[in-house]
Structure 1
């Protein structure tokens, strides 16, 4: 194996940032009249990033934002949900997943997961459906793909909208098709630890023009600055003196500097993922050498290619170190007690956030440890990290 060959942020990224600085245009702009005398959003680096991502994933509508969490929120906003609607999400997930549901005024409902893979499936999602359920979020945790074919078949039968959280799975495919291209929307992260990074940043994908427009308006302060030949979605009763914030929205715009680094990193994704695959082989070899029959790894979905963010290792129950059950976070304990969300939305009595709600999830985290699989690690750093991960076993 070869230790990490090139700087994580090298000449390519530096040249991209330098070009943006030389242009004098550090924000992507919203067209004439929106705060800059020099706006050329038709050639913005953020535009080029969105085009490159759309081409890479084979999707139609992409919008880049300032963080992976903002991408989560935009994906939920793209669905057109109403306050109080219930959205199912995995009991084991980054807390940004249920937080984004709360931010939309909706109620998170946690579905149990397989205790080995920590993934939801069609059955665990369907078991969590009530009369108030409108959508579900599927998280491809560690980069391992959830069974999207059966999930989408269930969604079509039940009328649910599906969001894929792909923050940990850039490069993961199911039957040759990238994760993030199955559901109604998907969200991705460019945070420092992810497959490609600009420090913070991300993007969301929508399958429909209408969903894309909703997500852009939510992320762009309600300004209808659309791309991909999307027009319309503007109210008819805008006052003449109004600047054009046609609905409520946050300022979650990505900067040109972030976009420049991200597009340079995107051009290196195959290099990065090859290195990650080398590191996985190193972990597997290390586990085999230990000969410890109490250590296992979760099975992956047949006919899938996994690009790992971290590599999960199953250990005896009670010896796990992963803390990932979202409903055990203090905010949900408080919600369980007070029966309202932080935004004052009532929580139905049948929705709970107490210990024991999802036994598969609680068992799963108790038997899981995970080693970082970052392409920036050297072989020696990976071995040292793995030894720390397995300490005491």
Structure 2
């Protein structure tokens, strides 16, 4: 049987999982592809570090040239992370005719288009299924299963770290700090969790999902991004009492044929499937004009789920090699798209306020809402401390422009402080 040699760039959690799966499932993969897949060379940063994976028969080096200059290596798996260095290495590898598989969402979100162009020029495959939602095969599903449908909306929980934190806050009444510490101890959160808790990781994934679902290229600056680091446990409890769970959602939606993409905490009705997604799991809802709403659920991270997505890409590339059809883009769908205007994006909202407990305060808030043509759905007042009340409001649908102006006006009022404002997902 002919051999397809593989190089691996990075041997952390995912890299180790890829090597392990290729060995464990060798016979099944061979029967599917008609080729024997062999990891020939692995490039690591630290040669002295002990690895918990069998590297028998595999060359381990710290020299990227061992991959670039080896004509026997057909496919390179990049799981080293970083953006600048990974981009430099992948460009060199593509020019050397290597097919690339990566799990690097930051890289693909920021430089995916130019890398796809370079892959095209060199008749190489460039696949990155593992860059979004870990073990959920969402990208290939959008490309293949929704090819004939018009996708209207893609929304979901695409960051396992934040979902774990919010689950612990909701179910165990943990503070944000304690829930984050628990996530770090279990390996669900990095020592520096900034990208996760500030919503940046989810935003990068939404950039990729938007390109696949709508064919529209957007940048990080085009996305309204709000993280979970400011979430108050009391708001989580209050939302729960109203029949909602707070989740960090990415939402990409066509509005009047314009694209709106946002990442932030959202109140999700308990009757909505995303509300039941717990801990580090991910879920993506795709709404098509023909098929309606479909949900894809599974582990969003971890060694084996992510490695499994990498392996599906390896098999896809191997089939292309066998059929001599390499060089096709992972996603060919591309079109021009404009950003939705702030007055077109409409949701109900949840607003919580810290208000000095004295007469006339609600009148001030009501005047702001009336002036901006917005209306309440519900108002709840409870004790905040000895001198302040906590006022929680839910509103009827209003535009993004309206909510921004309302928050600005309320912030300007004396003795009233905005604690939070979140979208509410309609049932």
- Taking structure 2 as the reference length, the TM-score comes to 0.27
Greater C-alpha radius of gyration = 2
Q: Which has the higher contact order (CA 8 A, sep 6+)?
A: 1
- Taking structure 1 as the reference length, the TM-score comes to 0.29
Please identify which structure carries the higher strand content.
2
